[in-house]
Chains A and B, each alone.
Chain A
Amino acid sequence: MKPPPFEYYAPTTVEEALVHLAEHGYDAKPLAGGQSLIPMMNFRLAQPAVIVDLNNIEGLSFIRPEDDGSLAVGAMTRHQMVEKSELIVEKAPLVHETMPQIATSQIRSRGTFGGSLAHADPSAELVCVSVALDGEFKIANQSGERWVPAKDFFLGLFTSVLEPEELLVEIKLPPFPERTGWSLKEIARRPHDFCLIGVAAVLTLDENNKCQGAKLVYLSAGDGPVEATQAAELLKGQDMTDEAIRAAAEKASAEEIDPSSDIHATAEFRRHLANVLTRRALKEALDRAKGN
């Protein structure tokens, strides 16, 4: 099927886009890479009356190092550009590792970094990774802009703090502390499918190789990105032994995530996989934190 008729605007500046969004409110949808919105429109699951196409706005596609050591990524930066970026390799290795796991190369050549985040799909890798990295989102409207931490950005299934007249314009990724390791592990029926379950782990060691801080964030594990704070708390100050890792994985997979059953896997099996993947992710993060 094709979408029902809609009005179409193709602004060339953010300001112009914000004018259209303010004017049409809930009737309008911004169009980024269209990898989710267009199929939803074709299936008529979404029927926006107005489309504000962001693809002609030049200023929203960039990857830029900031003075404070963080990295700024423009919301309309294509996945493929992020995937191939040397800056990302150097400053955001977890993002670099994530990119090839996002769908297929065809989708990555069109899909955008900000579009994926604004869509707030709990099975999207970047949603999970942005929380694991303590990312910050710059949101603009006609009266100015605001910054929202990633963990506060996602409200639920396909829902974020974005108001209809607002646009996500930039994502800031802070630098890792010293002795930090990372990992993203996921399992899907086929590698390019929405995963059954996945986890992003970030681990920082102190000078005694004890855990100074850990972050475990899950995808496809609930209505949004699910952060396992209790499991991370269990690790804090501990030697990263197999027992400690196993305990954290048990805690997170049994108590902190909330996966559902569907035709692709039961919730129970997803919890089991979460347990396995958490251990693998923490071990890989540990190796990397030690510089192995």
Chain B
Amino acid sequence: MTTEIKERIPSPIGESKPRLENDQKVTGAAIFADDIQFGNSLLYARIMHSPHPHALIKSIDTSKAEALPGVKAVVTGADFPGYLGLYLQDRHIFCRDRVRYVGDPVLGVAATSEEIAVKALDLIDVEYEVLEPVLNAEEGAKPDAPLIHPDLGNYKVANFIFPQPGTNISNHFKLRKGDVDGAWEKCSTIVERKFWVPHIQHVPIEPHTAIAQWDETGEITLWASSQSPFAQRNLLAQALGVSQSSVRVIAPKIGGGFGCKAGISMEALVVAIASKTNGRPVKLLLTREEEFHTAFVRQELIAYYKMGCDENGKILAMENTYYWGGGASTEYGVNVTRAAGYSCTGPYEVPNVKADSLCVYTNHPVGGAYRGFGMPEMHTGLEQCVDELAYKAGIDPVDIRSINCVKEGCETVTGFKMHPTGLSQCIEETAKAIQWGQKSPASAPNKRRGKGTAIMWKAPAMPPNAGSSAWVELAEDGTVNVGLGGQDLGQGAFTVMAQMAAAALGVPYESVRISSPVDTRYSPYEWQTVASRLTWSMGNAVVAAATDARRQVLDLVSEAWDEDPEDLDIRDGIVVSYKSEQEQPIKDIVVYGLPKPDDQGWLGGPIIGRGKFMPSYVTGLDAETGQGTRSVVHYTTGSQSVEVEVDLDTGCVEVLRGVSAFDVGRAINPALVEAQIEGGFVQGMSSALFEEMIMVDGFMQNPSFVDYRIATTTDAPSDLQSIIVEVPQDDGPWGARGIGEHPMVPTVAAIANAIYDAVGIRMMSPPFSAEKVYLAMLEAGIVE
């Protein structure tokens, strides 16, 4: 009988289960932050933003606004002296003495209607003394550049970030390995290039929304469209000087994040305003225009690469300098630049490396986490240089990658021995799928086709000890409730967690629920929903909690049945004994326990399992060389190949096909993995062809969807292929590692390489508009 059960229960691991929230989203039952009702007591906040890229605030007169009927609070930086920041506490909630970018929040107003709040802002006079702005990271890094943060030396900072007080450099990551200067002469081919990757923004379809309430006892509640309820709790408590336990963050459904709803940004503004409204809740909903400056943007990157290889195509040396335009605050962004430092070679084994990754303050909007966390920007130039190196050395671009890519046991750039990785297989798979080496005919005489490949690596970028926790509780009918603190952003995290809990506990997938919305008062701790870390880290915590609950059930049954727990199992929600062949559904056990024989009392009671996970093995890196035993938890690797067609007359680029292969360790839910890969490809393609925050003298020129273009479904190539490679991660649940961010990392470079293959030009700065491509072809003499 038990064998029969074993056979008929497939594990939910590796099954493409439908997403848990499908019904809620399709029926409209899903509750987003803006859907939550607060009745008549709700107030509406609006923010006054700096009109200057860089200026001193000389005076603020709010008296007329405060006298306007319906205005309930006017809050300025004078009210909140505390500092805010994840890795570097360099920012106030509202500006105090100085504004540092166009859009910097100067003050906030709460009123009984949005209209009155807007009117109140018109009544406020702010006097500024305009200062010279820093508009470019490379210029900003120079010693004579105007200083944006004169107090940089006094800011609190994580011990792995290295600010340079007296400059605009808020982090300098140095990597020194081998002998670069001595290596160049051994190189038969050398490539040197400069690239510029502009600011882009995440543009989630749901703009940032937050509602805050301070009750009369000082308890703070924040409802926010959030990737990071626990980090927000912690950062708010630090900035406001209150206990973490006095701050409660509730995170309802979220309409896209991509990193901009991680850490904290506009949420602090609305909490600060709510401190002055006598317990009345205050809502702040960003407009699309505000989304481009009141939350986070992606840093810009000015990057210099020099790399060389010998006549066999073996890369001998790299010397890379990255100037990251971090914006007016780099509280989160400093770690992007660190990640780019310890990953500076890309997924290659290079014996001689010199790299400097510099985080530079500029008078631009605040840079933060954006899908890929520096890797898409860094790989944009790097992977084009590797391509160029191949062509110049007379080696096939796919071969040069196979020759040099990281393999198990090789020494990575920081001196860490590479764990098992399927990168070589990914390269082979994409080359095969795109029919590498075969040129297909163009669709018209004035068009040219080309193929390009780029590969990538990315590690979760986070503190070494970012933790996860979970609980698993069982109800009277044997259904399972999983408590967790990470967020489902549409990536399917809750679905995957339910699959893992079901598999670890031994119950059907359909009987598992996720306890949501995440509420820091009731949900277990999770660092943040970032870094593609949930499947791996939160997954480990959920598996531990489910295993704990399972152990409790089996201990109880072994006592009641007087059997060895080793002979017992839970399958499909039924406890079975392989020895006695007894069986009992868990629903009869998990709340009321089991009776002792002869009515002599009861055993057990409500079952609640707990679990946690925190990596314990990540070491520090030397401040001068960037070398250490283990820089990161692991790297997810992958490869992408694309085929494009370029119109010689117009410069228009069409992406015809995209093929991706990523090593995910183990695909817990293959359909969701494929969705991540396709979505990442299209987002990467969007940044390759369309996206750019056009900044002129510190002012953004295109803050709307009319002028800031993103790829939509109609722009995506119909031929997208996703290949899943599975080389297990030693500490991942069932071997799984993350795949959330990675698929957009190589895309820009892959498209650029394909453009080169088609028409022979190198594109040094995305987006590759028709005009840029045409002018480059003109300059190269490819067209007349």
Chain A positions near chain B (C-beta within 8 angstroms):
1, 104, 187, 189-194, 196, 263-266, 269, 272-273, 276
Contact B287 A263 (CB under 8 A): no
A190 in contact with B694 given A1-B287, A265-B771 (CB within 8 Å): no
Q: Say which residue of A194, A264, A272 sits within 8 Å of B774 (CB atoms).
A: A272
Contact A190 B712 (CB under 8 A): yes
- Chain A residues lying within 8 Å of B775, measured Cβ to Cβ, are 269
Q: Say which residue of A104, A189, A272, A276 sits within 8 Å of B690 (CB atoms).
A: A189
Contact B715 A190 (CB under 8 A): yes
Contact B714 A192 (CB under 8 A): yes
Q: Which of B701, B715, B769, B771 has the most CB of A within 10 A?
A: B771
Contact A269 B774 (CB under 8 A): yes
CA distance A73 to B287 in the complex (A): 39
Q: Is B124 an interface residue (CB 8 A)?
A: no
Q: Say which residue of B649, B694, B715, B774 sits within 8 Å of A263 (CB atoms).
A: B694
Chain A residue, CB-CB nearest to B711: A190
CA distance A194 to B709 in the complex (A): 11
Q: Is B191 an interface residue (CB 8 A)?
A: no
Q: Is B515 an interface residue (CB 8 A)?
A: no
Chain B residue, CB-CB nearest to A270: B771
Q: Which of A104, A189, A193, A266 has the most CB of B within 10 A?
A: A189
Contact B652 A190 (CB under 8 A): no
Chain B residue, CB-CB nearest to A268: B771
CA distance A196 to B701 in the complex (A): 17
Chain B positions near chain A (C-beta within 8 angstroms):
287, 649-650, 652, 690, 694, 701-702, 706-707, 709, 711-712, 714-715, 769-771, 774-775
A190 in contact with B287 given A263-B701, A266-B771, A272-B774 (CB within 8 Å): no
B117 to chain A, nearest CB (A): 12
Contact A263 B714 (CB under 8 A): no
CA distance A187 to B652 in the complex (A): 9
CA distance A63 to B327 in the complex (A): 56
Chain B residue, CB-CB nearest to A4: B115
A191 in contact with B702 given A265-B771, A266-B771, A276-B649 (CB within 8 Å): no
- Chain A residues lying within 8 Å of B652, measured Cβ to Cβ, are 187
Q: Say which residue of B650, B694, B702, B771 sits within 8 Å of A276 (CB atoms).
A: B650
- Chain B residues lying within 8 Å of A1, measured Cβ to Cβ, are 287
A263 in contact with B769 given A104-B714, A190-B712 (CB within 8 Å): no
- Chain A residues lying within 8 Å of B287, measured Cβ to Cβ, are 1
Closest CB pairs A-B (n = 3): A276-B649, A269-B771, A263-B701
- Chain A residues lying within 8 Å of B714, measured Cβ to Cβ, are 104, 190-192
- Given A189-B769, A263-B707, A269-B775, list of 8 further CB < 8 A pairs? A104-B714, A189-B770, A190-B709, A190-B714, A192-B712, A194-B706, A264-B707, A276-B649
A12 to chain B, nearest CB (A): 32
Chain A residue, CB-CB nearest to B649: A276
Q: Can you list 17 A-B contacts with CB-CB less than 8 angstroms, sorted by A residue number?
A: A1-B287, A187-B650, A187-B652, A190-B690, A190-B711, A190-B712, A190-B715, A191-B714, A192-B712, A194-B706, A263-B694, A263-B701, A263-B707, A264-B707, A269-B770, A272-B774, A276-B650
- Chain B residues lying within 8 Å of A192, measured Cβ to Cβ, are 712, 714
Contact B702 A263 (CB under 8 A): yes
A266 to chain B, nearest CB (A): 7
- Chain A residues lying within 8 Å of B650, measured Cβ to Cβ, are 187, 273, 276
CA distance A263 to B767 in the complex (A): 13
- Chain B residues lying within 8 Å of A194, measured Cβ to Cβ, are 706
Chain B residue, CB-CB nearest to A280: B649
Chain B residue, CB-CB nearest to A273: B650
- Chain B residues lying within 8 Å of A193, measured Cβ to Cβ, are 709
B318 to chain A, nearest CB (A): 35
Q: Which of B287, B702, B709 has the most CB of A within 10 A?
A: B709
Contact A191 B715 (CB under 8 A): yes
B685 to chain A, nearest CB (A): 11
- Chain A residues lying within 8 Å of B711, measured Cβ to Cβ, are 190
CA distance A196 to B707 in the complex (A): 12
CA distance A189 to B653 in the complex (A): 10
- Chain A residues lying within 8 Å of B712, measured Cβ to Cβ, are 190, 192
CA distance A161 to B774 in the complex (A): 40
CA distance A180 to B83 in the complex (A): 72
CA distance A196 to B769 in the complex (A): 12
Chain A residue, CB-CB nearest to B696: A263
B113 to chain A, nearest CB (A): 11
- Chain B residues lying within 8 Å of A276, measured Cβ to Cβ, are 649-650
CA distance A29 to B344 in the complex (A): 59
- Chain A residues lying within 8 Å of B770, measured Cβ to Cβ, are 187, 189, 196, 265, 269, 273
- Chain B residues lying within 8 Å of A272, measured Cβ to Cβ, are 774
CA distance A264 to B691 in the complex (A): 11
B699 to chain A, nearest CB (A): 12
Contact B709 A189 (CB under 8 A): yes
Chain B residue, CB-CB nearest to A104: B714
CA distance A266 to B690 in the complex (A): 16
CA distance A196 to B711 in the complex (A): 17
A186 to chain B, nearest CB (A): 11
- Chain B residues lying within 8 Å of A273, measured Cβ to Cβ, are 650, 770
- Chain B residues lying within 8 Å of A269, measured Cβ to Cβ, are 770-771, 774-775
B155 to chain A, nearest CB (A): 36
Chain A residue, CB-CB nearest to B710: A190
- Chain A residues lying within 8 Å of B649, measured Cβ to Cβ, are 276
A44 to chain B, nearest CB (A): 11
- Chain A residues lying within 8 Å of B701, measured Cβ to Cβ, are 263
Chain A residue, CB-CB nearest to B648: A276
Chain B residue, CB-CB nearest to A269: B771
Chain A residue, CB-CB nearest to B287: A1
Q: Which of B649, B690, B706 has the most CB of A within 10 A?
A: B649
CA distance A192 to B716 in the complex (A): 13
Chain B residue, CB-CB nearest to A266: B771
- Chain B residues lying within 8 Å of A263, measured Cβ to Cβ, are 694, 701-702, 707
CA distance A269 to B712 in the complex (A): 25
B647 to chain A, nearest CB (A): 9
Chain B residue, CB-CB nearest to A272: B774
Chain A residue, CB-CB nearest to B652: A187
B304 to chain A, nearest CB (A): 27
- Chain B residues lying within 8 Å of A189, measured Cβ to Cβ, are 690, 709, 769-770
A91 to chain B, nearest CB (A): 29
B366 to chain A, nearest CB (A): 22
Chain B residue, CB-CB nearest to A191: B714
